[in-house]
Amino acid sequence: MTQQTLRADDGHSHAADCCGAHADGHDHAHGHDHPHAHGASCHGEDGGRVQIAAPPPGATVWKVGGMDCASCATTITTALGRMPGISDIHISITNETLTLALDESRTTAATVEQQIGKLGYTAERVAAKAVAQPIAQDKPRRWWSERKMQVALTAGLLLAVAYAASLLLPQAAYGVFVAASLIAAVPIARRAIMAAIAGAPFTIEMLMTIAVVGALVIGAAEEAAVVVFLFSIGEVLEGVAANRARAGIKALGALIPQTALVENAGGLKEVPAASLAPGDIVVVRPGDRVPADGTVEEGTSSVDESPITGESVPKSKAPGAEVFAGSINQDAALKLRVTRAAKDNMIARIVALVEEAQEAKAPTERFIDRFARLYMPFIVGLAILVAAVPPLAFGGAWNEWLYRGLTLLLIGCPCALVISVPAAIASGLAAGARHGLLVKGGAILETLARIQAVAFDKTGTLTEGRPAVTDVIATDGRATDLVAMAAAVERHSNHPLAKAIVARADRDGAAGTAATAVRAVAGKGMEGLIGETRIFIGAPRFAAERASLDAATIEAIARLEDDGKTVTVVVADGAAAGLIALRDEPRRDAAAGIGALKGLGVGAVMLTGDNARTGSAIARLLGIEVRAEMLPADKAVAVKEMAAIKTIAMVGDGINDAPALASAHVGIAMGSGTDVALEAADAALLKNDVGDVAALVRLARATMANIHQNIGIALALKAIFLVTTVTGATGLWMAIVADTGGTVLVTLNALRLLGHFRQRIASPTAAPQPAMAAR
């Protein structure tokens, strides 16, 4: 194999293997697509391609507590971006991390932490390499120890005291409400002022501070105290909702055990799983979780991979098989050789991919962000006009219109609108990841929801990727003897068709016959001796040179070839002993998967390098349109032509599909998550199930429906309460209820996506293929 780089018209490069041909003398006239390794590409925020990467060398990383939404990240980014010596700021809300390039000769790490603290967040410096480790579940904290909960409790207690005082000492009620408002608002005002000083004046904290101060100025102390309390409760609920959304993907990190049993000097030693390095030999007992990605050295056992791939049926693992960290060993002890360090194992890569995807903004989200940046100053200006114009121009009461202006200021906050898209995207991505569907961001989900057609590679995607014996026709009726005879000669060949015949003989228990004097007949087939009988195995046209084929045999050959099968004739001492037909059979889940797409109104087409006859035969079985005799470059051209008139996805299993994958609106890699697939694909299906293509489309559509619901909820609430505020029908406390309630409502609605697959019926499989004929 030689590595080269395929370059699509969009300028993006993809690694590709140049496959050579078999040269053992067979000529079975078979025409497969080459089996492929995984490869695709990932759309970034700007529509280009992004790669998942650990923090760059020299980066400084902090764990930041208290970030619950995009506005938190914006406030921190704006504040730190104004400080000297700081650049390349990146915040992950999902992972609660801040990564930046820091010149400590101009700004120290301690100064950065102080600034973050002034904004109302906590910051703990961590090693950059820790970011690449799987996320473990945070230790549970007492509910009353959370800063936001402490603020809410304080505000609630002060409000209760104020109401009690108003009953016992009515004349002191106003002063008590003022004190309650000011004390409860201090933490909020401090954050607002620090954010404004740092360059972020339009924050919800600033709007709250202005509203509270304004309410006190016009004598609405009771309402000011209620508003602060309700805002604090809303902050707590937002934090709970955000943590719930994070938990979906963080739970993956908890799958990896803390310790591992390493073989050491003939014995076993317990070591931290994070310390395992490639080459280490570990023992996994029945019932234990696998501590690292590796390959089986000794032992055979069933392994439950459902936590990683979502596949419910345990897989049998024998020496040489690959095993993923976090999977559960079931039957017997396994000895594994570690192949990847903790930071590179399957779970770590899945977590990193999902985090990166959640940070890459979808087009709708980018539009909402741009809208919010203009909307906030507009609302502030409108509130000023509402408060000032009626009294100045029409003689309205200052207190009344100032009150309405303050109410408008609160109800106009775009928190619910801003969080409506990222909350839904994050939930959709996490739900997909937990079921073996990896998607590189909201932009890909949005495109998947609009998919009108899906193009499939054939070999390894819709078919098994290797030929299998489908028909055995013996002239004397003894099919097992014919397979045994052919296998005896074919055992000396490495050709895929020869291996398929040998596999059939082994399966049927017909592997006892031995052949001698076996040799390849250049370009024609194989021949050898079984006892004194000379055996030749080859394509019909070469077999006809050695034996006379009667009309029935010729008719059978034609019928089998019309079905897209490769026919091998077995000749014994100059007479045709029988026919063996082979074909790369459709996967059992292929027909059902294509049917599921059609049920969603999505068309499907198969692209193959096979000859038209073979391609058509497979297409008939699957009920799919076919384009045959296509080279990788031809597939790319075909996909581009289709993409020009409709939104199309390309599903492939390998590097040779890279040009077509890059040419589609979305490239989807089939397979169990190889390095190339995970790092380069727009989306990857870890369960290697064709039905998951339809599942991915359903998830994308559900996510976009959720986004539309959230935007509708947010805008409807704003529209209703803006009108009722200007007309004086609602006051300050109702404004904050509507604002906070809207934020919590859209977040909870987004969290429904985490249960998307609970109602989903497991991907159906196609009807069993017809039994292989044996005549």
Q: Which residues of 203-242 are buried (b: 16+ CB within 10 A; e: fewer)?
A: bbbbbbbbbbebbbebebbbbbbbbbbbbbbbbbbbbbbb
CA nearest to 525, candidates 562, 560, 498: 498
- CA distances (Å), 622 to each of 340, 577, 582, in order? 39, 33, 18
Q: Is the dihedral of CA 21, 22, 25, 27 positive or negative?
A: negative
Report yes or no: 44 and 50 within 8 Å, Cβ to Cβ: yes
CA–CA distance, 244 with 248 (Å, rounded to integer): 7
Strands (DSSP E) along 383-451, which ranges? Answer: 437-439
Say how far apart CA 452 and CA 448 lie, in whole Å. 9
The alpha carbon dihedral of 209, 164, 173, 183 has a sign of negative
CA distance 122 to 550: 86
Please give the full DSSP string across 320-383, using - where no structure is assigned: T-EE-TT-EE-SS-EEEEE-S-GGGSHHHHHHHHHHHHHHS--HHHHHHHHHHHHHHHHHHHHH
283 neighbors 263 (Cβ within 8 angstroms): yes
CA distances from 659 to 36, 620, 727 (A): 13, 26, 60
User: Which residue, 455, 431, 352, 464, is CA-closest to 667?
Assistant: 455
| Helix, strand, coil % in the chain, rounded to nearest 5 | 50, 20, 30
**Strand pairing class (86-92; 625-627):** unpaired
Alpha-carbon distance of 483 to 190, in angstroms, equals 84
- CA separation for the pair 30, 492 (Å, rounded): 19
Residue 110 has φ and ψ, to the nearest 5°, of -65, -35
Tokens of 201: 């004046």
- Cβ distance 618 to 424 under 8 Å? no
Question: What is the enclosing helix (H) or strand (E) of 116?
Answer: helix 109-118
Task: Considering only CA atoms, give the Rg of the chain.
Answer: 33
CB count in 10 Å sphere of residue 7: 14
Provide the token pair at 277: 């390095």
Point out which residues pair with 91 in neighbouring strands: 98
Q: How many CB atoms lie within 10 A of CB 137?
A: 12
Specify the pairing of strand 773-774 against strand 468-474.
parallel
Map residue 304 onto helix, strand or coil. strand
Q: How far is CA 45 from CA 54, 77, 442, in A?
A: 18, 18, 9
Q: Name the β-bridge partners of 668.
A: 651, 683
Residue 737's Cβ-count burial label (10 Å; 0-12, 13-18, 19+) is buried
CA distance 47 to 44: 5
Q: CA 580, CA 28: separation in Å to the nearest integer?
A: 11
Which active-site residues does the annotation give?
Answer: 457
CA geometry: angle 237, 240, 241, nearest 5 deg: 85
Alpha-carbon gap, residue 501 to 469, rounded angstroms? 6
Q: To which residue do tokens 């490495």 refer? A: 494
